[in-house]
Amino acid sequence: MVDIKAEPFAFPARPKQLALIVIDMQRDFAEPGGFGESLGNDVSRITKIVPDVKRLIQGFRKAGLPVIHTMECHRPDLSDLPPAKRDRGNPLLRIGDEGPMGRILIAGEPGTAILPQLAPIDGEVVIEKPGKGAFYATDLDDILKRRTITQLVFAGVTTEVCVQTTMREANDRGYECLLAEEATESYFPEFKAAAIAMIRAQGAIVGWTAHVDDILEAIHA
């Protein structure tokens, strides 16, 4: 076991049971013309974390630890997209509509792809998820159990929605969760700050948070 400097206290990492989960670092959320921008968001807030997410991915690969990627996307026939999700808000483009990078958040479309700087390599798991949480309607839990993974480090977007939702799902399933602070982001800085506070409140009720440098230093110790 190796302690990772974290808040609210050190994270007791067991490297042989540790994996990195990178949530939804997709073109539709990070590039102009994608779904994120159609909602009126400043996507540059997402692209600014790419170097830290990349460092974290490379660090886990170098340490021989699993890296798992998630992509929020739906079937072309929209059979896994409930109206309550598609009709929410007032975006310029809705899920399934034709956009500058193909149909918005549809599996196999260019905009749904993970950013090329962070693309999975051979052997890395990619989870296609129809919901905000990565455990809903996927086989993520089975994959982790088969690999005897009990601890998860999280990166990706957005902090308060898909990242926090997945951390809470993981916590309910008995996984210990650590969020890499510089490797996650929101379109709203106050939402990121609030999510981080909620995650580590009351003695890490949902999980821990740590800086990327401290995570990398510990896993390579």
Give the catalytic positions in this structure. Answer: 24, 129, 162
Q: Kindly give, in sequence order, each residue whose CB lies less than 8 Å from that of residue 45, ignoring residues fewer than 6 positions away.
A: 185, 186, 187, 189
Helix (H) / strand (E) element for 19: namely strand 18-23
Q: Is the dihedral of CA 157, 217, 63, 119 positive or negative?
A: positive
Q: Is residue 109 within 8 Å of 97, Cβ to Cβ?
A: no
| Residue 138: CB atoms within 10 Å | 16
Of the candidates 21, 18, 39, the residue with the CA atom closest to the CA atom of residue 30: 39
| Residue 15: CB atoms within 10 Å | 15
